[in-house]
Structure 1
Amino acid sequence: MKRLIQILLAATLLCSASSIQCYQYQGESIPPQQQNVITCKPNVAFCTSTLIRFNGMLNGETLVKGCLSENENICNMTITEDKNVMHVYKSVQCCDMDLCNLDLLPDVSTKDHEIQCFVCNGNPAGCSGDQLPTTWCGEQTRCMEISIGGALTGDGRTRFMMKGCGNAASCGGFAAFSDGHQPLSYYAAMTCCNGSACNTGTFVESEPGKENGLEVTSCAKAEKGGLSLGHMKRTKCTGTMTQCLDIIGEAPNQSS
């Protein structure tokens, strides 16, 4: 009987020795000094402090402290995840002594995990390729390209391109407009990509397309006092232009 008691006591002491105590907390990234103390399950060897930062549609960060509940290989690492409209950074710090995570704060800097995008604003010929300058995107999580074409006056076409960072929820967008004098007076095409320096594309050309069955009243001549019926005409829409549109503003080089 005495021998059995000694064995049970030794087993109890062994279990106690393998259970580490850690501070437990979840909330703002700067925690209060008064935090709960918990005893971890047997064979848990680490206390942790994990900073979770998220940005995109929602922005913020939270700090979580406790016992290591996953594979210890995540210790002292930063993990990034894409959650549709959000980008999540998880920085994990570990320590292996009782109550060692009281002041253990992961690095809140995420610059090493941000993306870089090529930037350009101007002539499409100078905005192509992978030799453009880049910029860190901060909380913006996608690289973008926007191609703008127009023939609002005369017979010539203007072409303009922009590249940079963005966080548009939907990409692959296209908008077009015709004033009746030109089959395609103006259009803008936007594309996005994930990952650093991925926006290496070239200018997106567009053609009016075939007539789609929609007819609208069009006019592009402005005069003081408004428009007369003589300035208006019926226009057959083409391609993806399937809605009527009014654009009101002051024409270039025209006094008010």
Structure 2
Amino acid sequence: MKTKISLAILIFCLGTASSLKCWKCLSREGKCPETKVEVCSPSQDACFFEIKNFTALSADTVKQGCGTLSQCQSYRDGYNGSLYQGMYCCSSDLCKSVNYNVNRKGSKNGVTCQSCIGSTAECGLNGPSEPCYGSMDRCVQISQRFLPGEELEPIIKGCGDSSFTEAMVEYQIGKDFAYVDQTVCSLSNCNEGFTEITPSELNGLQCYTCRDSGRGECTHDRLQLLNCAGLMDQCVDVINNANRELPVTIQKGCATESMCTRYLDIYRPLMRQDSYAKCCNTSLCNRAESPSAPEMLMMGTALASWLVLIAWK
């Protein structure tokens, strides 16, 4: 019996000794304390180095830990609105796959803010804090929840300048409610926590709703009716204008007026660089708008057929 136990302990120790070790922390420049080391499981064959930053906000975040090479290879690098995300991996003990430096403008201005991009667990009350520099003399917190399939990090915190002002955007597409809450404050570390918002009572406005996935959901004969609630007193169309000659409606629903008036500085930087929102404030006013993608295809086919007939004549 003792022999079996000793053998099991020996195997465990050998396994632990051969396991990959990675730095594990959430920081601004990827510098972990020496005590923050993670022993990877047998299925984890890489140390990951994930970078996130948000244009115009000092909120650079580097997350490190154990992962897999396949996770790194399938990671979607690049910009989503003004949010950049990138991941790098390496496969040796305590390796760093990239050197990352944050460029700071000016000198410290005496304000300290929570600086973090991530989940509520990572960036909640005890999120990491960093000193602010130069004209970035206020703390900014962006709490958000997007539509399914459009998920971004729920919290963005950092130092900002006077271009950041408070704003609230709420919108509902079908049964899915989403929002962006941007708060700005001037005291050190005043941007702690996370704002959770839920829609309130119905307000009497009714709008057409749809969400186009390329299957004709926003064609006129397939539009659904949606009863608006709370502060959402506008009917909205979200229009994709990647092809400026043929704008396409991709979403319809209920929204606050700020969805349209603050679109350029709130919603667009967070999500869609190639779209805009159009609002109206009477029930069912958002029916007639830019055609959906399938309707554009039908129109194009019909036009091509007509041109062929003209040519034959």
Query: Which protein has the larger Cα radius of gyration, Structure 1 or Structure 2?
Result: 1
Q: Please, what TM-score do these two structures have when normalized by structure 2?
A: 0.39
TM-score by length of 1: 0.46
Q: Which has the higher helix share?
A: 2
